[in-house]
A and B are shown apart, each in its own frame.
Chain A
Amino acid sequence: MMSVALKMLFGDRAKYFGIVMGVTLASMVITQQGAIFIGIMTRTYGTVTDTGQGDIWVMDPKVQQIEDIKPMQDTELFRVRGIQGVGWALPLYKGLIRARLDNGQFQNCNILGLDDATLTGGPPGMAQGALADLRRADAIIVDEISANTRLAKPSPEPGGKPIPLKVGDTLELNDHRAVVVGIGRSTRTFQSLPVIHTTYGRATTFVPKERKLLSFVLVKAAPGVDVESLRRRIELTTGLAALTNQQFKDKTVDYFIKNTGIPINFGIAVGLGFLIGTVITGFMFYNFTLDNLRYFGTLKAMGASDATLLSMVILQSLVVGAIGCGLGIGIASFFGARMANTPLAFTMPWQLLAVAAIAVAIICVLSAMLSIRKVISLEPAVVFKG
């Protein structure tokens, strides 16, 4: 009888496409908006991702997220180094700096100052140059996207394409000359500001002088030391906050979720997608069942049990759900692939696909429940009513 159910479904093409489109729309909106939301949230902790060679980030206890810098005294680095179980502890400067471009305009940039000796925390990949070149005088590494866009030099011809920044070019950072020695591949950040890497010592000379300049201490646990215990020990000993990479990411995301309207905006979009999908699919599927009620009645009269009819309706619902969900996710993935090299944030982890599939399953169950009720309560005597 399941083949009969499928033939009933596929045979009514207009309704079949209508139902599938409803599910497709819902799963596409849920997946696409969800992926953009996750993409944006992933970017909020882009610096943590790129600078994750250590196990623990040590910071001022008042820091709320990665962009919220509350500098510490340089001596905190030595206190951390003195704690038992610390393999290494390195300073990291993170701040904002103003770059003066060739056309006279200014561009705010994120500047990261890496430990002068080890250069730990550099860009995860290099498009041009090498990380070690940061040891040269006035050296900086600029992220690839900004080198091609915000920090690019203006075209000598009016209306021409900007000329990407390349190794050997210079920038003026807060009235200091800086030489581009490399183009790095960094994760885009939430603010999408250019990311400039340099050494810790040089970064503190570029930025205005302040009493406290140390933004973070990156800590690696010694071999065999439990990271969580070390984290707690650092907090107890120094009174500073110490978070693992994942904890710092979570804290950052948590901050953006609680303090910005982003989740509400995307939540509304996802909710609307779910609602519209449910209404369209539910209405079309119910209508499809009503149209076929006479045939369900005929089957019931001819001896089909309620369980058989129930299975038929559920199968029909699951099939349109699976096809619609696949199409929706496919369209969202295509959209994501097309947007891969654009500023659009788009991250589609498997958990999001699972959420979309669950949402579609709920839509299908709700739609099927309406229809099942109608089919089960159907009196087989209806077949004699002409």
Chain B
Amino acid sequence: MSSTNANHPESNGAIHASGRATPSVTPGATPAVVCRGVTKTYGNGTSAVFALRGVDLSVAPGELLMLVGPSGCGKTTLISIVAGVLDHDEGDCVVYGRNLKSMSNAERTEFRGKTVGFVFQSFNLIPTLTVAENIAVPLLIAGSSRAEAIERSRDILGRVGLGDRWNSRPANLSGGQQQRVAIARSLIHHPRLIVCDEPTSALDHKTGHDVMQLMREVALSSGQSLIVVTHDARIFEFADRIARMDDGKIESIDTSGRALAASHGAVP
């Protein structure tokens, strides 16, 4: 396992996901995400909880970065800040050249709609909408017509292997299928950054493996960056880099996901 100093975010190195897919990191390209000295505290006074204590992190376009670490170490807080759904206290977080701190709420909302795709642990598919309608939501938010959005969502459903389930309700799908729908939803509006919170924790090993493979293939092939928060060592092999967090800081960044996976016994 080769570790690099976490405080050198540009040390992307040669990143490969152990033959699972071809990473599309462009050396020298403008970073997708650059965080410097990011802090976040919940509460104040004696009850203050220091969730992030000066995090430096960089993610390159086309890179799949995994954030790992024990519960409460600040992983979710960090992706929430990077995704623009949570304000940070100090430091800078620049996503595709836009400093999140300098944006108004409305600007950040618009920025999220155009730039960020989300995959959630519990899928967050709206149960009363069909699969195609769920996938169409980001386009509808962006102002596309319903007909166009549904047509495009049916196209992308084919890419995630659920072309025939477009009219099903989420409740009629398995966990793996629901996560595929969530992935399709996160991709449909071509966001440049996709953040995933424990995308495989509700799935069995094989399904989780398939989901990650799908994400690598579909997202990274078009140059999108992925940040995946996970506890699941079985999917480490898909990472270009793995950032290990503890107590609100990035302790180390591993450039070989497969090696780390092997150290966890997840790769034979």
Contacts and interface: CB of A to CB of B under 8 A. Distances in A.
B and A form one assembly: yes
Contacts of A305: 106, 109-110
A1 B141 contact: yes
B126 interface: yes
Contacts of A381: 80, 85-86
Interface in B103-154: 106, 109-110, 112-114, 116, 118, 120-122, 124, 126-129, 133, 137-138, 140-142, 146
Contacts of B128: 7-8, 10-12
Interface string A359-386: 0000000000000000000011101111
Nearest to B105: A306
Contact of B127 (A1, A11, A306, A384): A11
Contacts of B85: 300-301, 379-381, 383-384
B3 to A, nearest CB: 27
A386 B114 CA distance: 24
Contacts of B113: 302-304
The binding surface of chain A is classed by DSSP as helix
Given A7-B128, A295-B126, A303 B120 contact: no
A8 B118 CA distance: 20
B39 interface: no
A126 interface: no
Interface residues of A, number: 27
B197 interface: yes
B109 A383 contact: no
Contacts of B110: 303, 305
A384 B120 contact: yes
A192 interface: no
A301 B83 contact: yes
A308 interface: yes
B121 to A, nearest CB: 6
A298 B138 CA distance: 10
A304 to B, nearest CB: 5
Contacts of A303: 109-110, 112-114, 116, 138, 141-142
B126 A4 contact: yes
A295 B146 contact: no
A301 B119 CA distance: 11
A299 interface: yes
B106 A386 contact: no
A306 B262 CA distance: 46
B197 A384 contact: yes
B120 A299 contact: no
Interface of B: 76, 79-80, 83, 85-86, 106, 109-110, 112-114, 116, 118, 120-122, 124, 126-129, 133, 137-138, 140-142, 146, 197
Given A10-B128, A298-B118, 18 more contacts: A1-B140, A4-B133, A7-B133, A11-B129, A298-B126, A300-B109, A302-B138, A302-B141, A303-B109, A303-B112, A303-B138, A303-B142, A304-B109, A305-B110, A379-B85, A380-B112, A384-B80, A386-B122
5 contacts: A301-B83, A301-B85, A380-B85, A384-B85, A384-B197
Q: Which 9 A-B pairs have the closest CB atoms?
A: A303-B113, A11-B128, A380-B85, A381-B86, A298-B124, A381-B85, A381-B80, A303-B112, A384-B76
